[in-house]
Amino acid sequence: MNKIYKVFPGGNHKVLTLSYDDGKLEDRRLVSILNKYGIKCTFNLNSSQQENTGTHIPPEEWPELYAGHEVAVHTSTHPTLARCPENEIVYEILSNRIELEQIMGYPVRGMAFPNGSCDDRCCRIAADLGMRYARIAADKYAAVQSAETYAKDAEGPMLLGDETGFDMPSDYMRWLPTCHHNHHLIDFGQKFLNLNKPQYLYMMYVWGHSFEFERNNNWSVIEDFCKLVGGRDDIWYATNIEIVDYNYVFDSLQFAADNSFVYNPCAAPAWLKVNDDYVVVKGGETVHF
Ligand SMILES: [Zn+2]
């Protein structure tokens, strides 16, 4: 019987994605760095704050600036959702979604919770409003730091296992990033490059706010990171929704019971590793192995 594994587009088993919030002016510089190295990012934007303190990217600039990246929901006015009544949660997400879609011209189906605030109720409402993923403002690196290891924080992620933080999400409605860019980003990037067990899928997920680079005068962190991990043919560079959508395509594949062929009922292609070969199954095709 054929041995079949899921792989990412291009036959890769590693994916890198980024998620940056609030849509402030510093996004211009961040986008130019990401574009230089072919790295994809999801930008989570508010809508009603945009008219304007002069600190946010004006909406008329969004389609061109964020082209090739993803624009996603960050609620209309950036409230702490877990403190809000349900009708307000609904309004904040839905009005933001509608406004973003009118500006960007594509369905907006993902979000990052503002102020890191969510609970079961927020996740349920977000899903009901068509959100297919929701990022929380924490990360795996911080989550695994015990009080003891946190005291040694300066030593960085070497305290963690080599593969810690790179597993695929178990719950996309509580999508937990690998690290904030201030949490040893370069060290995590180097570890990510070193991951080489093809029997696993690996994800690196970085989050933050572009204004933090300006405030902390550390643009070099993201420049060095992109230089390190960008432009490689063994990493799939994807926005958040591209990962979710690819999972959908792959999970929709219809395999023969004996693994001798597969049918792809979706429009988008799927990639498989069949024994030692990589196989692309285009939309609508049946492929025999
Ligand atoms: Zn925010």
Among 84-93, 195-204, 271-280, the range scoring the smallest mean pLDDT is: 195-204
pLDDT, tens digit, 9 for 90 and up, residues 39-84: 999 999 998 865 567 899 999 999 999 999 999 999 999 999 999 9
Are 112 and 222 found together in one domain?
A: yes
Instruction: Identify whether residues 245 and 261 lie together within a single domain.
Output: no
Model confidence, pTM: 0.93
Residue 5 belongs to some domain of the structure: no
Judge if 57 and 112 occupy the same domain: yes
pLDDT of residue 52: 61
Residue 284 CA to ligand 1 center (angstroms) comes to 40
CA distance 100 to 241: 15
Calpha distance 278→200 (Å, rounded):
15
CATH number of the domain residue 205 falls in: 3.20.20.370
Question: Residue 144 — pLDDT band, cuts 50, 70, 90?
Answer: low
Distance 21 CA to ligand 1 centre (A): 5
Same-domain pairing of 196 and 98: yes
Q: Does one domain contain both 242 and 261?
A: no
Task: Give every CB contact of residue 131 below 8 A, 6+ residues apart in sequence.
Answer: 73, 93, 109, 110, 111, 173
The whole domain housing 282 covers: 254-288
Residue 76, in any domain of the structure: yes
- Distance of CA 5 from the midpoint of ligand 1 (Å): 37
Check: CB of residue 264 under 8 Å from CB of residue 249: yes
Q: What is the Cα–Cα distance from 86 to 77, expressed in whole angstroms? A: 15
How would residue 2 be classed by pLDDT, with cut points 50, 70 and 90?
very high
For the CA atoms of 170, 178, 113, 115, the dihedral, rounded to the nearest 10 degrees, stands at 140
Q: Angle of helix 27-37 relative to helix 219-229, nearest 10 degrees?
A: 20
When pLDDT is cut at 50, 70 and 90, the band that residue 147 belongs to is: very low
pLDDT of residue 148: 46
Q: Which residue has the tokens 């997400």?
A: 93
Cα-to-centroid distance, 45 and ligand 1 (Å): 8
Pair (188, 274) in one structural domain = no
pLDDT for residue 140 is more than 80: no
Residue in the block written with tokens 């939309």:
283
Q: Are 96 and 47 spatial neighbours (Cβ–Cβ below 8 Å)? A: yes
Please give the distance, rounded to the nearest whole angstrom, from the Cα atom of residue 147 to the centre of ligand 1.
27
Distance 88 CA to ligand 1 centre (A): 17
8 A C-beta contact, residue 169 and residue 203: yes
* HEC string for 129-198: CCCCEEECCCCHHHHCCCHHHHCCHHHHHHHCCCCCCCCCCCCHHHECCCEECCCCHHHHHHHHHHCCCC
Of 17, 28, 123, 13, the closest CA to residue 67 belongs to: 28
Q: Cα of 151 to ligand 1 centre, how many Å? A: 28
Query: Is 7 inside any structural domain?
Result: no
Reduced to 3 states (helix: H, G, I; strand: E, B; else coil), residue 167 is coil
Question: Could you report the per-residue pLDDT of 181-240, keeping only the tens digit for each?
Answer: 998 899 999 999 999 888 899 999 999 999 999 999 999 999 999 999 999 999 999 999
Looking at the structure, tell me whether residues 125 and 244 fall in a common domain. Answer: yes
- Cα(222)–Cα(208) distance, integer angstroms: 11
- Tell me how far the alpha carbon of residue 262 lies from the centroid of ligand 1, in angstroms: 43
131 and 260 belong to one structural domain: no
Q: Is residue 199 part of a domain?
A: yes
How many structural domains is the chain composed of?
A: 2
Q: Considering the domain boundaries, does residue 242 fall inside one?
A: yes
Nearby residues of 117 by Cβ (< 8 Å), 6 or more positions away: 80, 81, 82, 83
Q: Please check whether residues 282 and 206 belong to one and the same domain.
A: no
Q: Are residue 107 and residue 233 in the same domain, yes or no?
A: yes
Q: Is residue 28 one of the residues assigned to a domain?
A: yes
Indicate whether 4 belongs to any domain: no
Residues 201 and 282 in one domain: no
> Does residue 8 fall inside a structural domain?
no
Q: How far is the CA of 19 from the centre of ligand 1 (A)?
A: 11
Nearest Cα neighbor of 110 from 56, 61, 70 is 70
| Neighbouring residues of the ion ligand 1, judged by CB less than 5 Å | 21-22, 114
| 26 and 87 share one domain | yes
Question: Longest Cα pair distance anywhere in the chain, in angstroms?
Answer: 62
